[in-house]
Chains A and B, each alone.
Chain A
Amino acid sequence: MYSQGLIGADGRTKEDAAFLAAFQARIDAEEKIEPKDAMPEGYRRTLIRQIGQHAHSEIVGMLPEGNWITRAPSLRRKAALLAKVQDEGGHGLYLYSAAETLGVSREEMTEELLSGKAKYSSIFNYPTLSWADIGIVGWLVDGAAIMNQIPLCRCSYGPYARAMIRVCKEESFHQRQGYEIVMTLARGTEAQKAMAQDALNRWWWPSIMMFGPHDSESAHSEQSMAWKIKRFSNDALRQKFIDATVPQAEFLGLTVPDPDMVWDEGLNDGKGGYRHGPIDWDEFWRVVKGGGVMNRDRIKARKKAWDEGAWVREAARAHAAKRAARKMAAE
């Protein structure tokens, strides 16, 4: 799961105008770009960064939800959550594979994540404090991710688009799983209802921040749109998400923690929509830059798994070399 708010994409490129125009013509004709095709360096770099961030987000995203696998309150929920977190790992894997077609290895990307050089979706730097968080994360965070990921299925880069099709197919159960958890809580005991509202209060704003800075502040966004790496603006997707989510919250009897939220007839080209109150961008940038409560813990957990797994991976490679040698000797 992931959403845009790509931080610092760098689409600068130095090819000549004729090359860039020919490439743009292919993009405009909705032709897919495939791994060995000629492409502007900026296009390649932007994709590596975006797909890498996307993959890292899936992998780091396993941690906050994984935090509740061992405490899931029923066996049915336990199995569903485990399957879901496993899916996130699978999505990370598909995405790393897509990035690898651009000439960067998974190991290199992993090192960039662990060194703090590569970013991931900032939403995962918030802690999951109660079981209701698992429901809310599924409903809102996966919901926001889906808003972003569906258009990515039509992304101009073939391997990324194909990975996203598989991801979207698999993710369709994630949001429903989350919403069902929240619904069960909202219809449950007073304590359960309070748990659900508390989780919504904590996750609402981070969720809508997932779409990234306002379009007016979003650097490099235009180039990504032109190359069809990104197909909708941050604000457009954010609005779509809010319009879909607010009625879902109302249905549950939960209150979106935005006192300024109003229905505005003028939004969405006169079709109307929910106008949200001011977003605390200081908070957003603080967490993006490492100041969230979980930033350090998330990377530490990933680093621990990677470091402690080193001897296992090394053994597998060593054994593979022995097998190959034995096979050779036998022939």
Chain B
Amino acid sequence: MAEATALWEVFIRPRNGLSHRHVGSLHAADEVMALQAARDVYTRRGEGNSIWVVPSSAITASDPDHADEMFEPTADKIYRHPTFYEIPDEVGHM
């Protein structure tokens, strides 16, 4: 019998004003221990001031096989970018 303790993904906010960022994962039996482990494992050098832990199993990920249909159609919509529009230099920064 192979035992298994649940896997969690850890997100840390380095400081106020920034968003939480994925830093790694760890094992813990429940959310309270996961949070403590995240503190002990991922913030030993003052890496942050806020932690999120999420069960890895709770993440729904996009399938790389569908990457083309998911992300390619956006490529030719260049009118969404400011450089698409021509404004004379004399007008100044806009």
- Which of A's residues lie within 8 Å of B, judged by CB? 34, 36-38, 86-87, 90, 93-94, 97, 100, 105-108, 111, 163, 166, 170, 310, 313-314, 316-317, 319-320, 323-324
Residues of A within 8 A of B61 (CB): 36
- B1-41 CB contacts (< 8 Å) to partner A: 2-7, 23-30, 33, 41
Q: Tell me the B residues contacting A by CB distance below 8 Å.
A: 2-7, 23-30, 33, 41, 44-45, 61, 63-65
A37-B64, A97-B24 as given contacts; A320 in contact with B29, CB under 8 Å? yes
A–B Cβ pairs within 8 angstroms, 29 of them: A36-B61, A37-B64, A38-B64, A38-B65, A90-B41, A90-B44, A93-B26, A93-B41, A94-B24, A97-B24, A97-B25, A105-B4, A107-B2, A107-B3, A107-B4, A108-B2, A111-B2, A166-B24, A170-B45, A313-B3, A316-B33, A317-B3, A317-B29, A319-B29, A320-B6, A320-B29, A320-B30, A323-B30, A324-B30
Closest Cβ of chain B: how far from A32's Cβ, in Å?
12
A316 pairs with B5, CB closer than 8 A: yes
Shortest B69–chain A CB gap in Å is 16
Question: Are B5 and A313 in contact, CB atoms less than 8 angstroms apart?
Answer: yes
Contacts of A105 in B (CB 8 A): 2, 4
Q: What would 12 more interface pairs be, CB under 8 Å, given A36-B61, A94-B24, A320-B6?
A: A90-B41, A93-B24, A106-B27, A107-B2, A107-B4, A111-B2, A166-B24, A310-B3, A316-B30, A317-B29, A319-B30, A320-B30
| Chain A residues with CB below 8 A from B23, complex form | 166
